[in-house]
Structure 1
Amino acid sequence: MTLGRTAAGHDAVRPTGHDVVVLGGGVAGCVLASRLSEDPGRSVCLVEAGPDYGPDRSAWPAEVRDARALTRADVWERDVPVHRYRARVLGGSSCVNGCWNTWPSAPDLAAWRAAGGPGWREAELNRHREAAVERMRLRRVPDHEVSPWGRGFLTAAAELGYEEVDMGRTGGPGLGSPLVNALDGLRWNAAFAYLDAETRGRPNLTILADATVDRLTVGDGGRIRSAELVGHGRRHSLTAGTYVLAAGTFGSPAVLLRSGIGPADRLHRLGLRPRVDLPGVGANLVDQPAVFVPMAPKPGLDAALAASEAVGGLYVNRALVRAASAYCADGSWDLHLVPSAGPPLFGRLPPGRYEAGFSVLAMKPASRGHVRLRSADPTDAPDIDPGFLTDPAGRDAAVLREGLGLVERLLASPALKALADPVPGRSARELAARETRELRDLLGTYWHPVGTCAMGPPDDADAVVDGEGRVRGTANLRVADASILPTVPASNSQLPVITVAELLATTFQD
């Protein structure tokens, strides 16, 4: 019996049992499958809902390999609000994002240790971060990849007193560039990094693509008996000693809920039998809201960007400032200011014309949203509400307004005045003056959702997993992806999530 064909053209045979089944082939799933199968005595099966383009990098679609653009080729949904975008391909978000990698603040790491225990101490995370940096081939941005707009931004930020900082480590506010997993235009995604031809050749590793996880069957004592999959119009079962959900902040809670693991009252209303009552499943969704300040490029900036694009050198954003609002913890930051100049993310402009502006991103929002099921059907997209700017005290809106004020100060610099003009009605000052409900209608996102299967200590009634990702009330089930982070870091999430997956892979003894 088969689930379909692999990228290499071979039959993907349905296995009857493994030591570990990893459900979800995003960045965390790729790490886990690779690291866990390093033990030749442990059989591992990795399941991905989207395509696997195989071990030959040159066979992958050009738009997926291109580090200069943000592809939307392999996603779960199209024509939806931007906060719902999520990758559906082996390698996950690393195949569609901006290749940015920054590191959390010291308070972030302290909060995770409080939730996860001593295994999450900063020194341990740093050790696994170094492994992630090496495998993802992270590098500093070379000068030629910083656009004239980015250079003007960094000059203006230095004039305001910001000093250069290492964005790949803890520290404080400052200016700089992220580490990037981009090599001369090639997007070095997690599938390339962790599932190369040698790794795929291990006899104890199986990769099943184009197979969607419907649910887990839960037996007595919370022991998982099988994972039920849907592929090519047929249903299939996988059995394993240990099941690991790595389906992401939106996908992992949805699978748990369809399995009867979650808030019992909501499960009853959907006609699902509650097997483990865990009120935190799908709750605590937190993502970083963004306000975009558009600018009108002057002819000189358009010409410089066109010249860069003509030689294949026009990349997505390569510069940022991390800044602290009045609400920020000491020694940390709660804002990213990111300049962008290039083809628009959405829509089109005439040849030779480009979009320019600034994104103001609230990195440590107090607002919380949720992921809930609309039905028990795995093909029915879940209800995803990020809850942007809903915190009762209005702190998140206030932080964004402070960020808009910083943009206004940056724009006073001659380095930026020479390149672009404000857009009437959408200047930073005018945006900051809008009512919160109007501001909410303009929001985008940084695409770093976390928290829907949050980790916590035994006395945390809302926690879903412990510090090793073990799901409460179950005997052989873990979650190991961004969904277990109880708080969003003041950073991009890719490097932290790969680091966490590296850490959790070391905790498997079975």
Structure 2
Amino acid sequence: MRLFTTLLGLTALAQASQDKPKSYEYIVVGSGPGGGPLAANLARSGHSVLLIDAGDDQFGNENSHMVYNNTPAINDPLTRWDFFVSRDTPEIDAGYEFTTWRQTNGEFYVGLDPPRGAKRLGVYYPRAGTIGGCAMHNAASLALPADADWRDIVAITGDADWSVENMRKHFIRLERCNYIQNGSDPSHGFTGYLDTSQAHHDWALNRSDLTTLASYFSNSLGGLETGKSLYELLGRDINANDPNRDEFMGVITPHTHSRNGVRSSPLNYIRDTLADARRYPLTVQTHTLVTKVLFSDAHAKNKEPKAIGVEYLQGQSLYAADPRHEPQSKGVKGQVFATREVIIAGGVFNSPQILKLSGIGPSAELKKFGIPVVKHLPGVGTNVKDNYEAVLYGTFAKPVTGFFDFFYKTALALRGRDLQFYCGSMNFIGFWPGMPGWNKNEFECGLMQLRPRNVNGTVKLRSANPRDVPEIHLGFFQEGNDSDLESMVEGINFVRPLFNNLTNNTFSELRPCATDVECTNDWQKNYLRGQVHSHHAVGSCAIGADDDPMAVLDSKFRVRGVRNLRVVDGSAFPVQPGAVPALSTFVIGEKAFQDILASV
């Protein structure tokens, strides 16, 4: 029986679950950009697949449906999971402006002067607990990593399947490009499942403050030397197979996984697979929290443990990160089995948690919580890295409406450009519960560091309770001296004078330098260290070399030292894949699909 639980209530779900098969060829845990399309692809190849997710189908939710509703989507209790992290030392984190606390009445307080009795939660780090994963609440930004990032993985693993040319083939297979004439560019795909678009930039043909501002930026970055108009420059394709793609500095308009403003996501592909008249053998089980992987030969001598299934709890909002979570709701315990493989795709925080709860991870940590060790893998939950984000933010006297991006290379870049900016009428200055929408006079240029030097973050168990959230420490600025901070200051200093060139429209800076501070480089470094934010963490179950004791996965996503278990999501990346990992994660999901087929 094919079961899709989108519209089933919990009573009906429990009844229907009794009729489900007890085993499938593949079990995929997590439906984001890594796991969701992989499950659909395996089913379309004729393999029986059970796709499990702790959330549900929010296809009709307007917040998730439209790309530019991503702030309401982040705030939506129907889709969000609330994680709280530490970033730096306790002393520095204590000054973070948007520190979140839990008040005695259960409500959040955000700020540095909490009411008596409030419990400090930390820095808000929203994730999505719904079919489609974080692709359902992100800004849908879509950029391939630099070719050098793929080459780094080849160098780490010795596996040529990660070559630039091969990874481009995976991208072509999944893409349905909407901004280039069908078939006109062989480096793009036109028949895949993921719609890709580029934001309209016709505004560049008319006079406005936004056009003037973008022109200043473009010319300062060498746009005049190209002999092209602002409109032509904004239309550059950042995902083309262009030898200069990773080197040019200049303005662009954003690319997104969408069509006509409507989000394209794993959910679309999953639903299409289920609705197809060919009746692919895909079962989707929602409201299901996987508690551990089941093994045979877990403690046998001279035999690697073999993943044979998963144990789970079934029920709505069972995970503590869900804002609707009720501790007294225990869920219904169950097990299901895989005849071929179990594939974990829970994301950078949940995949290492599931592995550790299953007995795979640093043995000392597992023993601390009384978890029997199946395989000592000290790298599980380490190697976490993230794109630092900072902003130059304030207000114009008169609204400047619209947006553009640009790339910049600082003097501290290790190779190629090192910053990507997003500029526009917005107020994205960090994350906190209930973060507001945009007010009309606000404007910012935010930056993302393309290749931060720090790889010091960790995801550790808080307890052996699978419903509990892990302890997450991002370990900001622990490596690379002050180079990352200095590069961000350089980028902001480049932007600041360009904001002051509009005629009869004054910009008032609010951060990092309000009018009442002396805006030195040292002051900005100290400010940024305390206030930078992030939301693109990767690497907690990283691929690594055969002789690397910290490697969790091999180059085919297989968990080392056990059989029939893979991890396919952003946690697998051994390097930061550019500014935004969404497209890279879609691509590795496609690669994993090919790796699995090759092993059958």
| TM-score, normalised by the number of residues in structure 1 | 0.88
Cα distance in structure 2, aligned partners of 1:227 and 1:349: 39
Gaps of 5+ in 2: 84-107, 109-120, 177-192, 224-232, 298-303, 316-330
Query: In terms of mean alpha carbon deviation, does 15-24 or 176-185 score higher?
Result: 176-185
Does 1:228 find its partner at 2:311?
yes
The residue number in structure 2 matching 1:319 is 404
| TM superposition shift of 1:350 | 10
Please point out which of 25, 33, 36 is paired with 2:39. 33
Cα distance in structure 1, aligned partners of 2:210 and 2:334: 50
CA contact (8 A) 2:426 2:444 kept: no
The residue number in structure 2 matching 1:334 is 418
Query: In terms of mean alpha carbon deviation, does 258-267 or 211-220 score higher?
Result: 211-220
Does 1:76 find its partner at 2:85?
no
Q: What SS is found at the alignment partner of 1:69?
A: helix
* CA spacing shift, 1:328–1:491, aligned 2, 3 Å: same
Cα distance in structure 2, aligned partners of 1:449 and 1:264: 24
CA RMSD of aligned residues (A): 2.9
CA contact (8 A) 1:168 1:178 kept: no
Cα distance in structure 2, aligned partners of 1:206 and 1:349: 38
Please point out which of 69, 76, 85 is paired with 2:126. 85
CA contact (8 A) 1:272 1:376 kept: yes
Does 1:219 find its partner at 2:299?
no
Cα distance in structure 2, aligned partners of 1:66 and 1:251: 26
* CA spacing shift, 1:44–1:348, aligned 2, 3 Å: closer
Q: Write the mapping of 1:118-129 to structure 2, written as runs, cut at 5 A.
A: 118-129=160-171
The residue number in structure 2 matching 1:477 is 565
Q: Spell out, residue by residue over 1:80-99, the C-alpha distance to the aligned partner (whole angstroms, 9 max, x if none).
A: 65662111110111110001
CA contact (8 A) 1:297 1:356 kept: yes
Q: What SS is found at the alignment partner of 1:86?
A: strand
Please point out which of 353, 359, 362 is paired with 2:446. 359
Q: Spell out, residue by residue over 1:122-178, the C-alpha distance to the aligned partner (whole angstroms, 9 max, x if none).
A: 111001112232122101211258896764543222121244443224421322123
Query: In terms of mean alpha carbon deviation, does 359-368 or 196-205 score higher?
Result: 196-205
The residue number in structure 2 matching 1:433 is 522
Cα distance in structure 2, aligned partners of 1:342 and 1:47: 36
The residue number in structure 2 matching 1:154 is 214
| TM superposition shift of 1:421 | 2.8
The residue number in structure 1 matching 2:153 is 112
Q: Write the mapping of 1:124-139 to structure 2, written as runs, cut at 5 A.
A: 124-134=166-176, 135-139=193-197
| TM superposition shift of 1:4 | 10
| TM superposition shift of 1:329 | 3.5
Output the amino acid matched with 1:156: Y
> Identity across aligned pairs (percent)?
23
* CA spacing shift, 1:343–1:216, aligned 2, 3 Å: same
Does 1:171 find its partner at 2:237?
no
Query: In terms of mean alpha carbon deviation, does 148-157 or 68-77 score higher?
Result: 148-157
Output the amino acid matched with 1:290: E
Query: In terms of mean alpha carbon deviation, does 43-52 or 9-18 score higher?
Result: 9-18
Does 1:286 find its partner at 2:385?
yes
Gaps of 5+ in 1: 306-313
Query: In terms of mean alpha carbon deviation, does 354-363 or 273-282 score higher?
Result: 354-363
Please point out which of 499, 509, 531 is paired with 1:422. 509
Does 1:192 find its partner at 2:192?
no
Cα distance in structure 1, aligned partners of 2:424 and 2:397: 15
Q: What SS is found at the alignment partner of 1:499?
A: helix
| TM superposition shift of 1:110 | 0.8
Does 1:253 find its partner at 2:352?
yes
The residue number in structure 1 matching 2:373 is 274
| TM superposition shift of 1:473 | 0.6
CA contact (8 A) 2:352 2:381 kept: yes
CA contact (8 A) 2:453 2:480 kept: no
Query: In terms of mean alpha carbon deviation, does 431-440 or 11-20 score higher?
Result: 431-440
Query: In terms of mean alpha carbon deviation, does 8-17 or 259-268 score higher?
Result: 8-17
* CA spacing shift, 1:4–1:95, aligned 2, 3 Å: closer
The residue number in structure 2 matching 1:15 is 21
CA contact (8 A) 2:31 2:345 kept: yes
Cα distance in structure 2, aligned partners of 1:383 and 1:333: 33
| TM superposition shift of 1:385 | 1.3
* CA spacing shift, 1:207–1:21, aligned 2, 3 Å: same
Q: What SS is found at the alignment partner of 2:283?
A: strand
| TM-score, normalised by the number of residues in structure 2 | 0.75
| TM superposition shift of 1:503 | 1.1
Q: Spell out, residue by residue over 1:166-210, the C-alpha distance to the aligned partner (whole angstroms, 9 max, x if none).
A: 322442132212321232332222211453155566341100111
* CA spacing shift, 1:150–1:33, aligned 2, 3 Å: farther
Cα distance in structure 2, aligned partners of 1:352 and 1:84: 23
Output the amino acid matched with 1:288: N
Please point out which of 537, 541, 545 is paired with 1:457. 545
Output the amino acid matched with 1:76: W
Does 1:43 find its partner at 2:131?
no
Count of residues in correspondence between the two structures: 487
CA contact (8 A) 1:471 1:479 kept: yes
| TM superposition shift of 1:409 | 4.1
CA contact (8 A) 1:334 1:490 kept: no
Cα distance in structure 2, aligned partners of 1:200 and 1:30: 16
* CA spacing shift, 1:398–1:61, aligned 2, 3 Å: same
CA contact (8 A) 1:104 1:489 kept: yes
The residue number in structure 2 matching 1:444 is 533
Q: What SS is found at the alignment partner of 1:130?
A: helix
| TM superposition shift of 1:433 | 3.2
Cα distance in structure 2, aligned partners of 1:153 and 1:371: 42
Cα distance in structure 2, aligned partners of 1:350 and 1:112: 39
CA contact (8 A) 2:4 2:283 kept: no
